[in-house]
Amino acid sequence: MTVKAHHKVLIIGSGPAGLTAAIYAARANLKPLCIEGWAAGGQLMITNDVENYPGFPKAITGPELMKEFRAQAERFGTVLVTADVTKIDFSARPFKAWVEDDLYTADSVIVSTGATARWLDLPSEKRLQGRGVSACAVCDGAFFKGEDVLVVGGGDTAMEEANYLTGLCNSVTLVHRRGEFRASKIMQTRALENPKIKVEYWSAVDEILGENAVEAVRLKNLQTGATKELKAGAVFVAIGHTPNTELFKGVLDLHDNGYIRTVPGTTQTNVAGVFAAGDVQDFVYRQAVTAAGTGCMAALEAERWLAANGPAH
């Protein structure tokens, strides 16, 4: 086992939350280490144009935005390691994180490993990602103004996305695999009473059709096996996200849905000196700008915590 380095702040993950935490911690002269993950940059790396990140009135692509975040974090002295953390030990200070056999130790930790959108796992879905297939209506809905679109899923996210899209699109078809929604009553009612929303129950997306952009969808009725095609300019997959918290199970307190629990209004976890920022602890807003906001909070809280508690011995 090799002890690679000791840092005052260790940041795990490099989406908008992790890199914002890195920028703030680095500017506070804390020389943070950011283990950025093999999927560095997070969910924005699979997003085309980002039109709602303040400061970019002409839009910027997700990967371009993350390149700028990274450059800004590096400029102030963040040390970046491109690898996944494979094991952690937060039972005592210094906190420990391993990348295979390499051990990194730290006086404080910011966890910002994000969440991963669940997909239907169709080859056509992957091919058309960013060309009409999206997992975020708030991010991509505006590209499909006036079109007919589909939302897949029956939870609160699907209802919320469908309602949101009716403000932009000509029609929204909700496609759900069962005969009843899982979503809360109030969200269901709002969707069902919206005249622009149609529902296809007991249905699954069999194939997304289109060469370079989504043009239509083939739906399969799960009760009869019958298929039919629907014209659609976009498919919003809203079948849930999985928080990337596997490493922290049994160590950090998690909500029932797997997201990290933080003290309300802060990024503090149940382990003093360990903070969580971004989508790994947020199942409500899930925006780049809110992730960046909590990344900033985590760095400021870590800085204050280190000032009060000193380095690990």
The question of whether 136 is a catalytic residue gets the answer yes
The smaller minimum CB distance to ligand NDP, of residues 85 and 158, is found at 158
The question of whether 140 is a catalytic residue gets the answer yes
The smaller minimum CB distance to ligand NDP, of residues 162 and 298, is found at 162
Instruction: Provide, rounded to whole angstroms, the least separation between the CB of residue 197 and ligand NDP.
Output: 15
Instruction: Provide, rounded to whole angstroms, the least separation between the CB of residue 204 and ligand NDP.
Output: 6
Cα separation of 187 and 184, whole Å?
A: 5
Which helix (H) or strand (E) segment is 232 a member of? none
Cα separation of 121 and 227, whole Å?
A: 19
Strand, coil or helix: 255: coil
| Residues paired with residue 21 on neighbouring β-strands, in sequence order | none
Is residue 258 at the binding interface for ligand NDP, with CB under 6 A as the rule?
no
**Does residue 234 contact residue 270 with C-beta atoms inside 8 Å?**
no
Q: Which residue's CB comes closest to ligand NDP?
A: 155
Instruction: Provide, rounded to whole angstroms, the least separation between the CB of residue 254 and ligand NDP.
Output: 13
* Peptide bond connecting 94 to the previous residue in cis, omega within 30 degrees of 0: yes
| Interface stretch with ligand NDP, choices 4-12, 61-69, 155-163, 271-279 (CB under 6 A) | 155-163
Size of interface with ligand NDP, in residues (CB under 6 A): 17
Is residue 240 at the binding interface for ligand NDP, with CB under 6 A as the rule?
yes
The helix-helix angle for 16-27 and 62-75 (nearest 10°) equals: 20
Which helix (H) or strand (E) segment is 217 a member of? strand 216-221
Is residue 283 at the binding interface for ligand NDP, with CB under 6 A as the rule?
yes
Catalytic-labelled residue, pool 49, 84, 107, 140: 140
The question of whether 101 is a catalytic residue gets the answer no
The smaller minimum CB distance to ligand NDP, of residues 130 and 155, is found at 155
Instruction: Provide, rounded to whole angstroms, the least separation between the CB of residue 105 and ligand NDP.
Output: 35
Is residue 155 at the binding interface for ligand NDP, with CB under 6 A as the rule?
yes
Instruction: Provide, rounded to whole angstroms, the least separation between the CB of residue 182 and ligand NDP.
Output: 4
Strand, coil or helix: 236: strand
Catalytic-labelled residue, pool 34, 84, 107, 136: 136
Q: CA end-to-end span of the chain, whole Å?
A: 20
**DSSP 8-class letter at 254:** B
Binding residue (CB under 6 A) for ligand NDP from 148, 160, 279, 282? 160
DSSP string computed for 150-216: EEE-SSHHHHHHHHHHHTTSSEEEEE-SSSS--S-HHHHHHHHT-TTEEEE-SEEEEEEE-SSS--E
Question: Which residues does the annotation mark as catalytic?
Answer: 136, 139-140
Instruction: Enumerate binding residues for ligand NDP (CB under 6 A).
Output: 118, 120, 152-158, 160, 177-178, 182, 239-240, 257, 283
